[in-house]
Amino acid sequence: MKPAFGDPDAGRAVARHLGIDLHEATGPGEPIRILGRAPAHVGTRDEHGVVHSGVITALADIAAGIASGLASLPRWIVSTDLLISRVRTEVVGPIGIDATVLRVGRTAAVTSARVLDEGAQGRTIATGVLTASLLAPEGGPPDHPRPFRLAPIEPPAADPPGIAEFFRLTHDDRGPGTVGLDLVDHLRNPWGILHGGATAVLVAETAEHAARRSLGGRWYSGDTVLHFLSPARTGPVTGEARILGVRPDGAVVAVSLRDAGAGERLVAEAVVTVRRP
């Protein structure tokens, strides 16, 4: 599918819901660097008022993806692997994001990302590394003016939809439980496939739901190793989890995402360490 880079609305709904504001802060002769901010509004928080771990991962993925893409011009990128560690559960907000390209090779780019709580003296919420494959998209790469800027078109809604509503999540409580995502248009990226940020939310929700069902109580994703394997184009996308083990500092959960409408194609695999708040 030809990406809709020329359409300013295509693939931007996830970033708009999160309220992310990004700008390039690359100095002369320095690696590409993208800084950002997001408001941590109620539409990013769970029923306990905690910013969803999938949102934290999505913010890192968006900023690091843009940085990787700009550094790879005239090619562009597709995310392949994302490693992220959440070190703080409580988030005051606004949330800061700092992504810096570490390396661009012939076939891949590697970018670091830090997610910070600007409302708590800039303390680190999470750190991560994104690896992306370089490609030559049909029609060429997006034509972003430089220095890059992605600002919200409008202020966040006073009463934004919650995580489950916006990301169209459903929960099946049979056994350890599975989580489904309805692949509606606002959850697609400019290629028309499931947005990486929505993938991150589904992975975190699946792991945490399985831990709640199997172990009881509240759990939040800490360390996540996420492998993007193939695009989800049809949906619904389902997340299935297996508890691999329980240890003093949490539980280790394996998560598989499949595109149910495309012959159960495997979309992503992840290993998530969930911890109690």
pLDDT digits (tens, 9 = 90+) for 231-246: 999 999 999 999 999 9
> For the chain, which residues score pLDDT lower than 50?
1-3, 5-7, 10
- Report the pLDDT value the prediction gives residue 1, as an integer from 0 to 100: 47
Structure tokens at 57: 């991962």
Residue 103 has a pLDDT of: 98
Taking only the tens place, the pLDDT of each residue in 140-160 is: 888 888 999 998 877 666 788
C-alpha 211/C-alpha 200 separation (Å) is 17
Ordered structural domains, the chain, with CATH: 13-275 (2.40.160.210)
Give 3-state DSSP helix, strand, coil % of the chain, rounded to 5: 20, 40, 40
| Cis preceding-peptide flag for 147 (omega within 30 of 0) | yes
> Measured between alpha carbons, how far is 66 from 76 in angstroms, rounded to an integer?
9
Question: Which single residue is written with the structure tokens 């360490």?
Answer: 273
Structure tokens at 193: 């496939």
Structure tokens at 219: 């759990």
Provide the percentage of residues in the chain whose pLDDT is more than 90.
Answer: 83
> Which whole-number Å values give the CA distances from 175 to 240, 242, 243, in the listed order?
11, 10, 12
Residue 16's nearest CA partner among 34, 35, 43 is 43
Q: What is the dihedral of CA 66, 267, 274, 223, to 10 degrees?
A: -40
Q: Which residue has the tokens 């929700």?
A: 205
- Give the other-Cβ count within 10 Å of 249's Cβ: 9
**What does the alpha-carbon distance between residue 271 and residue 274 come to, in Å, rounded to a whole number?**
10
